[in-house]
Chains A and B, each alone.
Chain A
């Protein structure tokens, strides 16, 4: 029962290409997040969203943008991919209705930029 689905497990793109990473959750969660994970650096927050059409910058938003047109979908956009954006990208969602912010993660999207 997959609850957070990332559309691509592996992508290979060229420098300068526009890249879309899609994430869909079926739990009616209000919060959605994009992290990137790099060896030795752990998980770093790129962008997050608390509601439809709403977005907040995380710790490393440069070079990225996001879109949340529907509650269940949160897209990460690399306008012009660069080699330093080669990474594992993790999408997550959560709800605060249970009183604690527990994240449910997708399986990850490993992006290679050549």
Chain B
């Protein structure tokens, strides 16, 4: 079952612009994570935000979490061509499914030089 839905499915911007990706989910979560995938490769963990947190920063990344709306957003500031990749949100629902992450379908980001 797909918990996360991401929006937009694809995003094309110019270098230097900010990129915002959104993720919605359906059930309560322990935490929400964002991953990046370069074409044809595995995923790489970017950032994790716990259910009791509202905002988190890591370098040029800013993640927000609104548990009342069951949504999260990932902002990449001052984007670079090297940021071109697919970005996935993943939810950890914990409980008796501890350890299992459910991924969204991803947002394909293209940053043009």
Give residues in A with beta carbon < 8 Å to B.
4, 31, 33, 35, 40-45, 48, 50, 58-59, 88, 90, 92, 94, 96, 100-108, 110
Contact = CB atoms under 8 A, between A and B. Distances in A.
A37 to B, nearest CB: 9
B99 interface: yes
B56 interface: no
Given A100-B48, A103-B45, A31 B99 contact: yes
Given A101-B99, A103-B101, 4 more contacts: A42-B2, A42-B103, A45-B101, A105-B42
Contacts of B88: 42-43
B67 interface: no
Nearest to A35: B103
Smallest CB-CB A-B distances: 5 pairs: A105-B42, A42-B105, A43-B103, A105-B43, A31-B99
11 contacts: A4-B42, A35-B103, A43-B43, A43-B103, A45-B100, A92-B42, A100-B31, A101-B100, A103-B101, A105-B35, A105-B44
B100 to A, nearest CB: 6
A112 to B, nearest CB: 14
Interface residues of B, number: 26
A1 to B, nearest CB: 13
Interface in B82-113: 88, 90, 92, 98-106
Contact of A48 (B43, B45, B48, B99): B99
A106 B41 CA distance: 8
A109 B93 CA distance: 27
A41 B1 contact: no
B40 interface: yes
Give the interface centre of B30, B88, B105 by most chain A CB atoms within 10 Å.
B105
B33 interface: yes
Given A42-B106, A100-B92, A90 B42 contact: yes
A90 B101 CA distance: 13
A40 B40 contact: no
